[in-house]
A and B are shown apart, each in its own frame.
Chain A
Amino acid sequence: EVKLVESGGGLVQPGGSLRLSCAASGFTFSTYWMSWVRQAPGKGLEWVANINEDGSQKSYVGSVKGRFTISRDNTKNSLFLQLSSLRVEDTAVYYCSGQGHHRFDSWGQGTLVTVSS
C-alpha cells in the first residue's frame, strides 16, 4: 500500500522558515517524480514544486521561485520542501504527492503551515 506521511508544519512568522518532510513507503520511491501541492484554507489546489527521480531536475510555481527548495533523499525514501521568506499568503495545507505522467497519483494527508504574526 502506498503511504505518504507529511510532517514539519506549524506556525511561523512572516519572513520565517520551515522545512517540511514527507516519508514514503509501499512503492519504489527512487523511481518516481514527486511533487508538493498546497491548498489555502477554503481555497483550491495549487501545484508548488516537483523533482525528478534522482533529484537533478526541479520545477517551481512562479510565486515560490527563489523562496522554496524541493529536495529528496532516496536512501531514506523521503521528500523535503524548504520554505523561506514566508508570506501570509503561503498559509496552506501542504500535500506530498507521488506523480504519474503529468498527474498526481498518490497523496499524503497534508501538513498545515500557518504564516502569521
Chain B
Amino acid sequence: QSVLTQPPSVSGAPGQRVTISCTGRSSNIGAGFDIHWYQQLPGTAPKLLIFDNINRPSGVPDRFSGSKSGTSASLAISGLQAEDEAEYYCQSFDSSLGGYVFGTGTQVTVL
C-alpha cells in the first residue's frame, strides 16, 4: 500500500502534453521532502528523470518538467514522443515510516 498516489494510466497523441499527478500526505510531500521522478522503459531498470522537484539530470530532454505544491507534485511531458511510452514513478521520504516511498506508478501510452 503506497502512500504516494498516482493515476494508473495517462495517454496522449504524439506532440501533445500530458501530466502525471503524485498525491502524498503531511508526512512526506507536505512535510517539505523533495519529490523525484523515475522513468522505467519496458523490461529495463528505472532511471532518474527529475530530482529535487524540478531539476533534470544531464541528458534528460527539457520536454520533461516537474512541479510541487502542498501535498502534491506533478510531472509534465511536452511534445509527447513514442519513446516516452513507459511507467513513471514519483518518490519521496516519509517521516512517519522513516524510509523512502514510491508512488503507485503511471503507465504513459502514446496513441
Interface residues of A (CB under 8 A from B): 35, 37, 44-47, 50, 59-62, 95, 100-110
Contacting residues, chain A, for B44 (C-beta < 8 A)? 109
For residue B46, which residues in chain A have a CB less than 8 angstroms away from its CB? 37, 45, 95, 104, 107
Nearest-CB distance from A4 to chain B (Å)? Answer: 9
Tell me the bound Cα distance from A16 to B100 in angstroms.
27
Contact assessment for B51 and A100 in the assembled complex, using a CB-CB cutoff below 8 Å: yes
A59 and B101 CA atoms in complex are apart in Å by: 13
With both beta carbons as reference points, the residue of chain A lying nearest to B102 in the complex is identified as A45
Q: In the assembly, what is the distance between CA of A54 and CA of B57, in Å?
A: 26
- Report B's interface with A, CB cutoff 8 A: 2, 33-34, 36, 38, 40, 44-48, 51-52, 57, 89, 91-93, 97-105
Question: How far apart are the CA atoms of A100 and B51 in the complex, in Å?
Answer: 9
Q: Report B-chain residues with C-beta under 8 Å of the C-beta of A35.
A: 100
- C-alpha gap A46/B48 in the complex (Å): 15
Q: Could you say which residues of chain A place their CB within 8 Å of the CB of B57?
A: 105
In Å, the complex CA distance between A35 and B34 comes to 18
Q: List 11 A-B contacts (CB under 8 A).
A: A35-B100, A44-B2, A44-B103, A47-B99, A59-B99, A62-B99, A102-B100, A103-B36, A103-B48, A104-B91, A105-B57
Inter-chain contact B104/A44, CB cutoff 8 Å? yes
Known: A45-B38, A103-B34, A104-B36. A109 touches B102 (CB 8 A): no
In the complex, are the beta carbons of A105 and B102 less than 8 A apart?
Answer: no
For residue A37, which residues in chain B have a CB less than 8 angstroms away from its CB?
A: 46
Determine the chain A residues whose CB is within 8 A of the CB of B2 once the complex forms: 44
Q: In the bound complex, how far is the Cα of B91 from the Cα of A57, in angstroms?
A: 21
Q: Closest approach, in angstroms, between the C-beta of B87 and any C-beta of chain A?
A: 8
